[in-house]
A and B are shown apart, each in its own frame.
Chain A
Amino acid sequence: MEQGPPGAARKTPLNALHREAGAKMVLFGGWDMPVEYAGLISEHLAVRQAAGLFDVSHMGQLEVTGDGALAFLQRVTSNDVAKIGDGQCQYTALLLPNGAPVDDVVLYRFGPARFLLVVNAGNIEKDFDWLRAQSPAGGCQLANRSDEFALLALQGPRAQEILQALTALPLEGVKYYHFAQGQVAGVDAVVSRTGYTGEDGFEITIAPAAAPAAWTALLEQGRDKGLVPAGLGARDTLRLEARMCLYGNDIDETTTLVEAGLGWIVSLEEHKGDFPGRAVLEAQKAAGPPRRLVGFEVMGRGIARHGYPVQIGERVIGAVTSGTYAPFLKKNIGLCYLPAAKAAVGTEFAVDIRGQRVPARVVPTPFYKRAK
């Protein structure tokens, strides 16, 4: 979104509304973003039980167009692009030769020659430079259109009901990881049934100038249905309960997708052809990775936070990649990499919580799964 003077925090078009609402603001990946409004726990529970509205306009949009777009995307992403049709989304990754992600992204297919990658805010420039370096063949153009879009995430069991009151699009027909184009609150929008919370919900892509009015209309529409504005704090605890990876914490340029439990977005279809990291990922899928990202529950007192050492016996074997108090589950949970031989559910280990060894246990994930 809007780029300020060098060194200044970037602001989404909703920045003034967040400040008016009394949000606590933090610097996140160079962006001045709301971390919470009324309180993290109440926002988290609202999303589980009713609905929450998030400003995620800091996310980036990279467009790939042209007759060569599909072939190019097959060559640089992990998932099988041929599996999705027009109006569908796909969770996928841009990959390095070591099988680790440059970024994890959501791919939108608008047509056979037009795709959009929604990428992590902190990776926009890196991804764009990396894509250009993969020398897209003739008939394929790349464009960084991140400044042209705002992105709102309306999440929770009442999201559809709230959004339906503001759009003529038949939302019931928009299935998980599909999208539709139409008007929301009187402005052009792309509405996808996607999200990062473990709940049903939508992400709404609109022009930055239209964002404040749409944000306000949604909040007003949802007020008597339990909708609240929700910040990045709740977004993080919600995604962790649903065991969704956060780039920079749980996955980065040193963790392979198979290690991270993301083997399901790696396609080994013959028609997909070669892509960076394919050989490594194929071998790890066949023989198993040397380590695995596991979910754990802290059994003693205290919250295992990002970076806290993980020990088996006396040996430090890694660190917590994400950890939090889980507001819906009311447990202390986290993710960390363990050697594959010690990663089975039920395995016990210890987390060093500020000098104290606190027992933890590998548990099945996702920690939270919504009732369908």
Chain B
Amino acid sequence: MDPQDRRYTKEHEWILVEGDRARVGITDYAQKQLGDVVFVELPAVGRKLNAHEVFGTVESVKAVSELFAPLAGEVVEVNSLLPNAPEKLNQDPYGAAWMLVLKMADAAQVQALMDAAAYAAYVQSESK
């Protein structure tokens, strides 16, 4: 089961709300679909993102996947360890492999995202 303390997108990202900020990463399902991750590209601190805007790329040996901003906001932190240790995405997608922290433009946008139960149902319907 995916962690209950966060919200999820249809692009298989998770969001953990920390006050007016949101920590963002990709789900366990996403890393399994990708396979061994070998390349991660993240945006610079200070970049302002619209919801659904592409903010980076994850590549495994076999596949490329774009990363979409789950909500609007400004990038206030990025996980600078990740580009040099992309395998962390396979090992610890909900912990050490967080990607960035957004200062949310509108915290209400979080409510539109799926909770863990809804996400589990979504994954099940998608993998059929």
Contacts and interface: CB of A to CB of B under 8 A. Distances in A.
Interface residues of B, number: 12
Interface string A310-325: 0000000000000011
A354 B65 CA distance: 12
B121 interface: no
Interface string A41-77: 1100000000000000000000000000000000000
B120 interface: no
B35 A233 contact: yes
Contacts of A370: none
* Interface majority SS (helix, strand, loop, mixed), chain B: strand
Contacts of A369: none
Contacts of B57: 354
Given A24-B35, A301-B41, A325-B39, A233 B62 contact: yes
Interface in A216-262: 233, 237
A24 B38 CA distance: 18
Interface in A327-369: 327, 354
Nearest to A232: B62
Contacts of B90: 39
14 contacts: A35-B62, A36-B35, A39-B36, A40-B60, A41-B61, A42-B36, A301-B39, A303-B59, A303-B64, A325-B38, A325-B39, A325-B59, A325-B61, A354-B64
A208 interface: no
A303 B39 CA distance: 8
Given A41-B36, A325-B61, 6 more contacts: A40-B35, A233-B61, A237-B61, A302-B39, A302-B59, A303-B59
Interface residues of A, number: 17
A305 interface: yes
Contacts, number: 37
Contact of A39 (B35, B39, B64): B35
Interface of A: 24, 35-36, 39-42, 233, 237, 301-303, 305, 324-325, 327, 354
Interface in B47-61: 57, 59-61
Contacts of A35: 62
A40 B61 contact: yes
Nearest to B41: A301
A3 B57 CA distance: 40
A28 B36 CA distance: 20
Nearest to B59: A303
A244 to B, nearest CB: 17
B35 A327 contact: no
Contact of A327 (B59, B61, B64): B61
Contacts of B62: 35, 40, 233
A305 B36 contact: no
Nearest to A233: B62
Residue among B36, B41, B90 having the largest count of chain A Cβ atoms under 10 Å? B36
